[in-house]
């Protein structure tokens, strides 16, 4: 309420109101669920409220994500663009430690991307990892029993030998997802890209300094310095949080033992995702 009244008071007394920038932090792997990951479920409401806030000069997204679900990355990126165009607000993405894979997909939804010189940026590709346990269960005397309706229902069963046709099918899906990712980056970055496809789109990642040279980002700075440069020293910030609190829920007795276990598993998965980039 106070933010809405300030511009009116400023005009009343003949002063130019200070610009307001909405800030949202997008942190964690994408689509892992729980309260630590980024998903459309967690973001839909907060994004809607943020973009519809009256009197905003811009929206700033502070991103720290190693990636995750291609579908969730695409959904989040598309929603950001739809709201930005609907409300006619510029969007700036600020990379902290990492905006890789799906994290970069979301960052590309912004009109401009700014990173620290030491940020990790890129990883424009698709990955699928797993394990094979067929020899282990054979040594332990375990019999695998799997029944399906549909000859191709079971794909890359970790308790059976890897099949060439399963790998081929997985790779065909990966190629399709990769093409979608590349198309999004080309659409969003356009002529800003300064390298060929073989350099940009083979899953490699770079520091913020190198990403600037390649045209994957637009500048090297931190969010506060960049926003003050864009909107002046008197720029004011309004923060927006994602759904699903941690400490407050526990303080109010709203978390169960299952919640704590889920938080622990989320933290382990998040740590593993960031570890891919040495973080």
Alpha-carbon radius of gyration of the chain: 22
Nearest-10 Cα torsion for 226, 104, 240, 218:
20
* pLDDT of 132: 73
Strand 205-207 and strand 120-122: the pairing is antiparallel
Q: How many CB atoms lie within 10 A of CB 159?
A: 17
* pLDDT of 138: 74
* pLDDT of 254: 41
Superfamily of domain 16-124+189-275: 2-enoyl-CoA Hydratase; Chain A, domain 1 (3.90.226.10)
Distance CA 128, CA 91 (A): 31
* pLDDT of 32: 63
Distance CA 70, CA 105 (A): 9
| CA 248 distance to own-chain centroid | 24
Nearest-10 Cα torsion for 180, 181, 183, 185:
160
* pLDDT of 196: 95
Distance CA 28, CA 36 (A): 6
- Is the pTM higher than 0.85? The answer reads no
| Predicted confidence pLDDT, tens digits, the chain (279 residues) | 555 555 554 555 456 678 999 999 999 999 865 566 899 999 999 999 999 999 999 999 999 999 999 999 999 999 999 999 999 999 999 999 999 999 999 999 999 999 999 999 999 988 777 777 777 777 778 877 777 777 777 777 777 777 888 788 888 899 999 999 999 999 999 999 999 999 999 999 999 999 999 999 999 999 999 999 999 999 999 999 987 644 433 344 444 444 444 554 455 555 555 555 454
What angle (nearest 5°) sits at the alpha carbon of residue 219, between those of residues 217 and 220?
110
Residue 208 has which token pair? Answer: 């913020």
* pLDDT of 34: 57
3-state DSSP helix/strand/coil % of the chain, to nearest 5 = 45, 15, 40
192 secondary structure, DSSP code: G
* pLDDT of 263: 52
- Which residue ranges make up each domain of the chain? 16-124+189-275
57 secondary structure, DSSP code: E
Question: No. of H helices and E strands in the chain?
Answer: 11, 8
Strand 112-115 and strand 91-100: the pairing is parallel
* DSSP three-state, residue 30: strand
Q: Are 101 and 68 in contact (CB under 8 A)?
A: yes
């Amino acid at each position: 309420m106070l933010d809405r009244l300030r511009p009116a008071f400023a005009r009343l007394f003949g002063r130019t109101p200070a610009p307001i920038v909405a800030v949202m932090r997008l942190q964690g792997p994408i689509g892992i669920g729980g309260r630590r990951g980024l998903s459309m479920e967690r973001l839909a409401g907060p994004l809607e409220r943020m973009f519809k806030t009256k009197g905003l000069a811009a929206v700033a997204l502070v991103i720290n994500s190693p990636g995750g679900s291609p579908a969730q990355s695409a959904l989040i990126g598309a929603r950001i663009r739809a709201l930005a165009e609907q409300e006619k607000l510029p969007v700036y993405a600020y990379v902290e430690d990492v905006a890789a894979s799906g994290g970069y997909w979301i960052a590309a939804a912004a009109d401009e991307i700014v990173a620290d010189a030491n940020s990790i940026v890129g990883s424009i590709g698709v990955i699928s990892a797993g394990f094979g346990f067929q020899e282990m269960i054979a040594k332990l005397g375990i019999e695998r029993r799997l029944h399906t309706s549909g000859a191709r229902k079971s794909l890359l069963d970790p308790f059976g030998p890897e099949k060439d046709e399963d790998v081929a099918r997985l790779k065909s899906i990966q190629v399709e997802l990769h093409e979608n990712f590349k198309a999004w980056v080309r659409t969003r970055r356009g002529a800003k890209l300064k390298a060929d496809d073989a350099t940009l789109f083979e899953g490699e990642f770079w520091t913020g300094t190198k990403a600037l040279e390649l045209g994957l980002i637009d500048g090297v700075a931190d969010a506060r310095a960049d926003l003050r440069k864009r909107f002046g020293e008197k720029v004011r910030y309004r923060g927006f949080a994602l759904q699903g609190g941690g400490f407050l829920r526990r303080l109010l007795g709203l978390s169960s033992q299952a919640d704590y276990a889920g938080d622990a598993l989320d933290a382990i998965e998040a740590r593993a995702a960031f570890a891919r980039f040495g973080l």
